[in-house]
Structure 1
Amino acid sequence: MNLSRLQKNFESLAAEDPLWTVLSDNSKKGGLWDPEEFYQSGEDEIVSLEQRLAHFGISLSGAQALDFGCGVGRLTFPLSRRFDTAIGVDISKSMIAEAENNLGRGKSCKFFLNTNDSLSFLEANSLDFVYSDIVFQHIAPRYSKRYFAEIARALKPGGTFAFQLPSHYTGPSYFRKRFGYFLKRLQQATGSGKAYFEMNGIPLPKLLTFMEQGLSLQLVALWDYPAAGENWQSYLYVFRKPNK
């Protein structure tokens, strides 16, 4: 799926049910998310991440953090309570507008709409920490790798990049799944299809080679992170940019 199609999908989903589009609990579909519960889930996630990273000597503190694929700011706001500034970036204009409507939930937050595979608004060596959850799995790997390179450029020496991404599909009939995506894209092209989540992964060995050899980032840790559903093997990766 190209980025223009991805943007169109998420604009459609966000217009219909923005909170469920970010955190797709089927029991909350149809506008059933309580906003306070929804945003508290973001704080709970960052607390859990903070505790886990502490075991590797990584502190969630510093000048500037980035929430990539921020949606409505569920994770941006808790990051803003740990960093001087928290930046949220998303491909959906509707999501960014909703995040800005909730600025009171955080402090010193900045939100950016970005619809291409460059993050040129980020200065080189400007970020202490980058986090992304339940985002790259919806982006075609060719674009994810470009974003990884942009994030590596923007990280400060010693900065940390933590993100969730599936490695490989484990469910029945991979080819049937891909054919299903093809049919959905065809239906959209003819104006008869609905927006949908496309799932993607990058095999763990290929990802490590790209990040370590291609971008010179160092793997700190990885652990099972089943955010992609029962049919995908998914991990939470933690990389660091070496100090010069």
Structure 2
Amino acid sequence: MFIADSDKEWEKFGKEDAYYGVLTEEKFRKENLTDSAKQDFFKTGQSHVHNILTKVKQHVDDGFVVKRALDFGCGVGRVAIPLAYITEDVTGVDISDSMLVEAKKNSHEQGLKNIEFVKADEKLSLVQGKFNFIHSFIVFQHIPVKKGQRLFSLLLDKLESGGVCVAHFSYAKTSKLKRLTSFLSSTVPFSGNILNLLKGEPFMAPRMQMNNYDLNKLLSQIQREAMSHCYLDFTDHGGALGVTLYFKKV
């Protein structure tokens, strides 16, 4: 199988087009990123935090309060920074050094003192302590499945008793074209680069993997970790079907 290194591709996004790498809207491309567009970018994070915490209270724990939060795959801080305004302590974790540099810059510009950003590795060795809230959204889909399952297990170990996790995974594609391009990108050398040209992008432009996870395995993993009931919220990103899982550790 010819599979690009997802970590290296994500670092390319961090260096070349960090905000567009997080949210693929034209106004977030490097050449279009005005101050107004950047404000809109972080407003999407604020809205996301509000929405997920509303669902946590509706479906998981009506008295839940975020105290110490971990945002896995934090990128430039779209979600981690809004979280820092409503909680005691936030740790943002990402594999890209360039993304982390930009996230630190953004947090400093906003005068935040209760947030830190650390680099991910295979064992999350730089992530210290336990958290009462762990979050990851539109991240695992870009990580090879076996590696993603290991990292998810490590995150569950870092969730304290009574803590809540909100984690998103893709599990299927509705579009035959998306299934075909995904297959070609993972099996045929340089097919992803040719697809870049067909889309009007540079030959060596970074490409994100879109990996589907087995929901049976994920739910079994959650249940084995002594979690309480699980609430599922379905997502559809242009034919990439996903699910956000909400659950509490007993």
2:73 alignment partner in structure 1 = 69
Query: SS of the counterpart of 1:73?
Result: coil
- Equivalents in 1 of 2:173, 2:227: separation in Å? 25
Q: Distance in 1 between matches of 2:205 and 2:148?
A: 24
Q: CA deviation at 1:195?
A: 1.4
Q: Hey, what does 1:199 align to over in structure 2?
A: 210
| CA shift in 2, pair 1:59/1:98, >3 Å | farther
Equivalent pair of 1:223/1:237 in contact (CA under 8 Å) = yes
Aligned to 1:14: 14
Runs of 5+ in structure 1 lacking a partner? none
Distance 1:233 1:92 in 2: 25
Which position in structure 1 is the counterpart of 2:200?
A: none
Which structure 1 residue ranges, 4+ long, deviate > 4 Å from structure 2?
1-4, 184-188
- Contact 2:14/2:97 (CA < 8 Å) preserved in 1? no
Letter in 2 for 1:10: W
Q: TM-score, normalised by structure 2?
A: 0.84
Aligned residue number for residue 29 of structure 1: 29
Question: Cα distance 1:109–1:60, how it changes in 2: closer, same or farther (>3 A)?
Answer: farther
**Which of these residues, 155, 162, 183, is aligned with residue 178 of structure 1?**
183
Q: Which amino acid aligns with 2:29?
A: K
Q: Which amino acid aligns with 2:233?
A: W
Higher RCO structure (Cα 8 Å, ≥6 apart): 2
Contact 1:20 1:31 in 2 (8 A): no
Secondary structure of 2:125 counterpart: coil
Change (3 A) 1:197 1:176: closer
RMSD over equivalenced CA pairs, Å: 2.5
CA contact (8 A) 1:165 1:236 kept: yes
Distance 1:177 1:187 in 2: 9
Map 1:6-155 → 2, pairs under 5 A: 6-33=6-33, 34-56=37-59, 57-58=61-62, 61-104=65-108, 105=110, 106-114=112-120, 116-124=121-129, 126-155=130-159
- Alpha-carbon distance change, 30 to 120 in structure 1, aligned in 2, over 3 angstroms: closer
Q: Which runs of 5+ in 2 are unaligned?
A: 194-202
State the partner residue of 1:222: 232
Residue 243 of structure 2 corresponds to residue 235 of structure 1: yes
1:187–1:168 Cα change, 3 Å: closer
Give the deviation of 1:59 after TM superposition.
Answer: 5.0
TM-score by length of 1: 0.86
The CA deviation at 1:170 is 2.0
SS in 2 for 1:129: strand
* Alignment correspondent of 2:5: 5
CA distance in 2, matches of 1:4, 1:59: 43
SS of the equivalent of 1:24 reads: coil
Alignment of 1:164-175 (within 5 A): 164-172=168-176, 174-175=179-180
Identity value in percent:
25
